[in-house]
Amino acid sequence: MNDAQGFLTAAELANPPAHLLREEAAIEPDPAPTTATKDTQIIAIYGKGGIGKSFTLANLSYMMAQQGKKVLLIGCDPKSDTTSLLFGGRACPTIIETSTKKKLAGDQVAIGDVCFKRDGVFAMELGGPEVGRGCGGRGIIHGFELLEKLGFHEWGFDYVLLDFLGDVVCGGFGLPIARDMCQKVIVVGSNDLQSLYVANNVCSAVEYFHKLGGNVGVGGLVINKDDGTGEAQAFAKAAGIPILASIPADDDIRRKSANYEIIGRPEGRWGALFAELAANVAGAKPHRPAPLTQDDLLGLFSGESVGRDVVLEPATLQDMCGATLTQKPSLEVVYETV
């Protein structure tokens, strides 16, 4: 039977009539699913462990909420300490731990099990495996898979801030950069070699994935515990990224942070500083960084500080064995070429 009776012949199936192709082309495609990336700024914050990412993010997210923004803070560090300052030192149940318990009980994870709020800031912790029982990076990937099941791409936030451990930029820790999950990266560093080494590694990762077709850029550098020596400013200039804020090495900040006190309040002593940081983070353009070589990075510091003048002396086999070696005759037969 032919199409006049509602069917197509074998020949027509292999080569459909032009009018059928036109009719098919005129059919409107299904609308694309709504994603958080359209109206939401998703920003990944990286930095060396202990440099003050969690402190910076807790106060930044709090200030943004006080400015009327809807903010979600997600801790992506296996230490699960991103939200501790925000919640006054209280531990937040992690997504991975909660998911494991719910699965064993035959239940499903709900938003209220893993997401909590304070003064307009919504926050959660991905968590990680117990020590020696799994890969932290894989835990991050698993955590984001659970977030997608909870409807992550349908949530309506102005800002989603992701707190990532910057010491490692592989696997799950490099997920936002490798998979274009965020629009830009913010780096937290200080005037010390190790934190700037980590910041440079993050810039290198951004540049690497940019060459592979990625679109994530570096929004800028936040200098924490700034003692005025200038190495972080020099790094930012050399890498071609802006400085979003310089948080001073002040005893008042140190003391309040240690006591889990939010200082990013509009009416407080440090309110103007975090209000400026919030504005700079919101408006920061994603820059393509210029990572430094190891020698250029060392060049930001004095030779006495980093041992730049040390000469590498090759070791000998005698050094390794700790005794005088006797050359033994070889049993190898060497044939002379004719």
3-state SS, the chain, equals CCHHHCCCCHHHHHCCCHHHHHHHHHCCCCCCCCCHHHHCEEEEEEECCCCCHHHHHHHHHHHHHHCCCCEEEEEECCCCCCCCCCCCCCCCCEHHHHHHHHHHHCCCCCHHHHCEEECCEEEEECCCCCCCCCCHHHHHHHHHHHHHHCCHHHCCCCEEEEEEECCCCCHHHHHHHHCCCCCEEEEEECCCHHHHHHHHHHHHHHHHHHHCCCCCEEEEEEEEEECCCCHHHHHHHHHCCCEEEEEECCHHHHHHHHCCCCCCCCCCCCHHHHHHHHHHHHHCCCECCCCCCHHHHHCCCCHHHHCCCCCCCCCCHHHHHCCCCCCCCCCCCCCCCC
CATH number of 36-298: 3.40.50.300
- Tens digits of per-residue pLDDT, 208-225? 999 999 999 999 999 999
- For the beta carbon of residue 5, count every other beta carbon within 10 angstroms: 7
271-292 pLDDT tens trace? 999 999 999 999 999 999 999 9
Instruction: Provide the residue ranges of all domains of the chain, joining segments of one domain with +.
Output: 36-298
Q: What pLDDT does residue 80 have?
A: 75
Q: What is the pLDDT of residue 36?
A: 40
What's this model's pTM, rounded to 2 decimal places?
0.78
- pLDDT score recorded for residue 135: 65
Report pLDDT for 82. Answer: 86
Give the tokens for residue 124.
């959660």
Per-residue pLDDT for the chain (338 aa), expressed as one digit of tens each? 444 444 555 555 555 566 655 665 555 444 433 334 458 999 999 999 889 999 999 999 999 999 999 999 998 877 778 899 999 988 888 888 898 898 898 998 899 999 999 999 999 998 866 666 656 666 677 778 888 888 888 899 999 999 987 776 666 678 788 888 899 999 999 999 999 999 999 999 999 999 999 999 999 999 999 999 999 999 999 999 999 999 999 999 999 999 999 999 999 999 999 999 999 999 999 999 999 999 899 899 876 666 667 788 898 888 888 777 676 777 777 677 66
Catalytic site residue from 30, 38, 39, 48: 48
Please pick, among 163, 167, 226, 256, the residue that the annotation labels catalytic: 167
Identify the pLDDT of residue 255. 95
Residue located via tokens 């709020």: 117
Verify whether residue 101 is a known catalytic residue: no
Among residues 240, 245, 239, which one has the least CA distance to residue 223?
A: 245
Q: Which among 53, 184, 225, 256 is annotated as catalytic? A: 53
Q: Which residues pair with 159 in a beta bridge?
A: 41, 71
Q: Which of 69, 70, 79, 117 is catalytic?
A: 79
**Could you confirm whether 184 is annotated as catalytic?**
no
Per the annotation, the verdict on 69 as an active-site residue is no
